[in-house]
Amino acid sequence: MAKNRITIKDIAKDANVTPASVSMALKDHPRISKDTRRKIQRIAKKMGYQPNFLARALVSKKSFTIGVTVPHVTDSFYAELLQGIEDGAVEFAYNSIHCSTKNILAKERSSIDLLMNRGVDGLIISSAENEDPYIKGIIDDEFPLVMVNRRLTSKPYCDMVDYVVPDNFSGADMAMEHLYRLGHRRIGVITGLPNTSTGKERTDSARQFLKHNRIKIESKLFVHGGWNKKDAYNATNKLLKLPDKPTAIFSASDEMALAAREAILDAGLDIPSDIALIGFDNIASAKYKGIELSSVGINTYEMGKTAAKIMVEKIENKISPMINKVTMKPELFIRRTCGFHPHGYTAKQAIKKMVS
Amino acid sequence: MAKNRITIKDIAKDANVTPASVSMALKDHPRISKDTRRKIQRIAKKMGYQPNFLARALVSKKSFTIGVTVPHVTDSFYAELLQGIEDGAVEFAYNSIHCSTKNILAKERSSIDLLMNRGVDGLIISSAENEDPYIKGIIDDEFPLVMVNRRLTSKPYCDMVDYVVPDNFSGADMAMEHLYRLGHRRIGVITGLPNTSTGKERTDSARQFLKHNRIKIESKLFVHGGWNKKDAYNATNKLLKLPDKPTAIFSASDEMALAAREAILDAGLDIPSDIALIGFDNIASAKYKGIELSSVGINTYEMGKTAAKIMVEKIENKISPMINKVTMKPELFIRRTCGFHPHGYTAKQAIKKMVS
DNA sequence: GTGAAAGCGCTAACAG
DNA sequence: CTGTTAGCGCTTTCAC
């Protein structure tokens, strides 16, 4: 750590005042006369003073720092989310520090401990699981907490914590309906981790859609993608090996959808003529020509920013009795991986829905 | 910030010893007898003690934290790099905190200040520019510094700082040679920011390649992509509007290459038959079927890990006179965006070089 | 208006 | 072997 840095003591000596006065003067406290304030500020600037964050936070019990946990940074969805949180925090003169949990509960816990020990003023968490007693403990302690993207799902805790999440139900519903209207009746689903709220809700919604539309639910059409490319690739192959394989696949994330896409193409099949494909998240690489993955998604960056904003509000209002529950409405982005189906939309209808 | 947490004082009271003894006991200092050590540790665990990082760092002047600056997290190259740094740091029981600089020098400086004020033990920087006097100041102060991906380029400072960077010269050379051997003689170059080491070296290398091969250097074939999609898209359009447009394009980054790809396809041209395309970085989305962007690249994640490792070594050995300069050899990843050229490689040669 | 003093939670130098 | 003391750099309360 840097040594020999200028402290308020040094400034105090130079200005013939006490450290306390320097401290006050630097935060423009009216207690100090305008003249000495100016003088002290001038000297501080001249000496290149930089406040010691650690000392300040230690005594004031305030760090202007938000702790964040996300599964990975390399997942472009979370990279965007993280950037949103970072930028959002900065807008309110806060900073963020993050830890990657790799969807491992133990890692998430140690990350939370680490962040708390570092004196963060609040936590924004994309939880590894939807039932973590550890997180419940944080809620019980009334420590500022905002869950983002993923949240707790069981009563009563799910109602006691602020969150910003996509509307997974309507999102998955939109995706399924799109496939349905295109004429698909045999739809495979690549699920995320079932113990995450996103995984559970998107799968449940898909299941519900089938039920409402009187389509028989076959468990072999639901395969586990585990929120990662490798598992999703293998899961897709399971679907493809089915004697009566699906004509369309809904993947609970674009990351997994792109892996599914590889599997389908590797099997020598065509998208969408052999199999239609739709994902969830609308990540950047879904948009490239030649990929043009249809997807439902929200503005991920904004979701991060919103989470940061709510966090700051929570911190500053101290005991806010209000719980903020923000659900972001997803949009359907029709591209080229679903195509048309002989029994579905008319071309005219579909073209009208086309977006880039 | 969390209040009412257990401190060593609480433990001391409970164990009938002084806070100092608790402090030592918890770090297994042999000064404390085995019995009391055990006892204190047991009590600490029972009470759920968590050391206060801020207090510890303040007094010990050691935070076990590495500060990192990168341009963006949303750029998948930097996401991977950052994940490498994070994971690398954790392996040595360090942590990392990062700031995004958006390639803006002022942001980089304030980020560095912020990180230093937070008492980081060292800085890993992907500098916004290759000539920043501010960074030179850090070197003069002998504060632990490792530059990653981008570095300072001018004497004497470029020799005074540790770095882990790709071999930009040979990388760009490989890319150009690949195009050349495929028969291309009219090659467009999309450059990065010219005041970054990566931008400068990759462009210089391309220029040099042309010179060595007696190809006239035309400045209109060098267009500025600014390390971002939007600029790269527009830059590509400039190339495409040339009356004698290039038959191939080398882009200084994959991110820009993918934007170039969009521009080329938007113009109704084919890749590679109308225009061949090769990038630099070998990012994940270059690999998708239908994109299959040829690229030169290094293992970005490892580059991050290596930077973290060197950083920790620097910190722990205190006054290490050795400067670590690591240059990572790039590999050529031949995919489908360069294709063959009537006057180039034989198909046999090229197929031999094919990698997935 | 300003100085003096206490203390945040911890470590490291002293004593005994 | 263990307790006492001082102090990291800062903020805040209490005097003057």
Q: Helical H runs in B242-323?
A: 254-266, 300-316
**Phi, psi (rounded to 5 degrees) for A35:** -65, -55
Q: Which chain A residue has its CA at the smallest distance from B116's CA?
A: A2
Render pLDDT for A58-83 as a digit per residue (tens, 0 to 9): 999 999 999 999 999 999 999 999 99
Residue B101: predicted pLDDT: 97
Query: Mean pLDDT score of chain A, rounded to an integer?
Result: 93
Measuring CA to CA, which residue among A269, A262, A293, A259 is closest to residue A279? A293
8 Å CB contact of A1 and B119: yes
Measuring CA to CA, which residue among B235, B250, B351, B288 is closest to residue A229? B288
Of all nucleotides, the one whose C1′ comes closest to residue A3's CA is D8
Nearest-neighbour CA in chain B from A214: distance (Å) = 36
Task: Assess whether pLDDT exceeds 50 at residue A114.
Answer: yes
Q: Is A80 on the interface with B (CB under 8 A)?
A: yes
Give residue B96's identity as a one-letter amino acid code: S
Contact (Cβ atoms closer than 8 angstroms) between residue A212 and residue A177: no
Calpha distance B356→B354 (Å, rounded) = 7
Question: CB of residue A119 closer than 7 A to nucleic acid strand D?
Answer: no
Nearest-neighbour CA in chain A from B175: distance (Å) = 23
- Longest distance between any two alpha carbons in chain A, whole Å: 87
| Torsion (CA) B285, B290, B291, B294 in degrees, nearest 10 | 110
The confidence band for B341, taking pLDDT boundaries of 50, 70 and 90, is low
Q: Is A117 on the interface with B (CB under 8 A)?
A: yes
* Rounded average pLDDT over A229-242: 98
Residue A31: predicted pLDDT: 86
Environment class of residue A304 by beta-carbon count within 10 Å: exposed (0-12), middle (13-18) or buried (19+)?
buried
Say what percent of chain B tops pLDDT 70. Answer: 94
Give residue A342's identity as a one-letter amino acid code: P
* Rounded average pLDDT over A295-315: 97
8 Å CB contact of A54 and B58: yes
Q: Is A336 on the interface with B (CB under 8 A)?
A: no
**Which residues of chain A are within 8 Å of residue B266 when distances are taken between CB atoms?**
289
8 Å CB contact of A119 and B291: no
What is the separation of C-alpha B251 from the centre of its chain, rounded to a whole number of angstroms? Answer: 18
- Measured between CB atoms, which of B1, B95, B121 is closest to A63? B1
The confidence band for B2, taking pLDDT boundaries of 50, 70 and 90, is confident
The confidence band for A318, taking pLDDT boundaries of 50, 70 and 90, is low
The position carrying tokens 């934007």 is: B259
Residue B213: predicted pLDDT: 97
Give the side-chain half-sphere CA count within 13 A for B207: 13
The confidence band for B82, taking pLDDT boundaries of 50, 70 and 90, is very high
Task: Assess whether pLDDT exceeds 90 at residue A247.
Answer: yes
Residue nearest to nucleotide D13 (CA to C1'): A20
8 Å CB contact of B54 and A54: yes
Which whole-number Å values give the CA distances from A174 to A252, A271, A278, A279, A295, in the listed order? Answer: 12, 20, 10, 11, 10
**Which residues of chain B are within 8 Å of residue A53 when distances are taken between CB atoms?**
114, 117-119
Contact (Cβ atoms closer than 8 angstroms) between residue B206 and residue B225: no
* Cα angle, residue A302 at apex, residues A300 and A305 outer, rounded to 5°: 115
Q: What is the pTM of this model?
A: 0.94
8 Å CB contact of A95 and B73: no
Residue A347: predicted pLDDT: 46
Residue A341: predicted pLDDT: 55
What count of CB pairs under 8 Å joins A to B? Answer: 127
Task: Assess whether pLDDT exceeds 90 at residue A1.
Answer: no
Residue B34: predicted pLDDT: 84
Give residue B239's identity as a one-letter amino acid code: L
Q: Is B329 on the interface with A (CB under 8 A)?
A: no
**Phi, psi (rounded to 5 degrees) for B311:** -55, -50
Measuring CA to CA, which residue among B326, B346, B285 is closest to residue A290? B285
Render pLDDT for B174-213 as a digit per residue (tens, 0 to 9): 999 999 999 999 999 999 999 999 999 999 999 999 999 9
Question: CB of residue B7 closer than 7 A to nucleic acid strand C?
Answer: yes
**Which residues of chain B are within 8 Å of residue A3 when distances are taken between CB atoms?**
61
Question: CB of residue A56 closer than 7 A to nucleic acid strand D?
Answer: yes
The confidence band for A356, taking pLDDT boundaries of 50, 70 and 90, is very low
- B112 Cβ contact partners less than 8 Å away, ≥ 6 residues apart: B67, B69, B123, B125, B134, B135, B138
b/e map A150-159, b = 16+ CB within 10 Å: bbbbeeebbe
- Measured between CB atoms, which of A76, A114, A291 is closest to B291? A291
| Separation of B247 CA and C1 C1' (Å) | 77
Render pLDDT for B284-294 as a digit per residue (tens, 0 to 9): 999 999 999 99
Chain A 54-83 contacts with nucleic strand C (CB below 7 A): 55, 58-59
Task: Assess whether pLDDT exceeds 50 at residue B319.
Answer: yes
Residue B355: predicted pLDDT: 42
Give residue A5's identity as a one-letter amino acid code: R
Measuring CA to CA, which residue among A124, A159, A172, A113 is closest to residue A330? A172
**Which residues of chain A are within 8 Å of residue B57 when distances are taken between CB atoms?**
1, 54
Nearest-neighbour CA in chain B from A36: distance (Å) = 25
What is the separation of C-alpha B274 from the centre of its chain, rounded to a whole number of angstroms? Answer: 33
Question: CB of residue A27 closer than 7 A to nucleic acid strand D?
Answer: yes
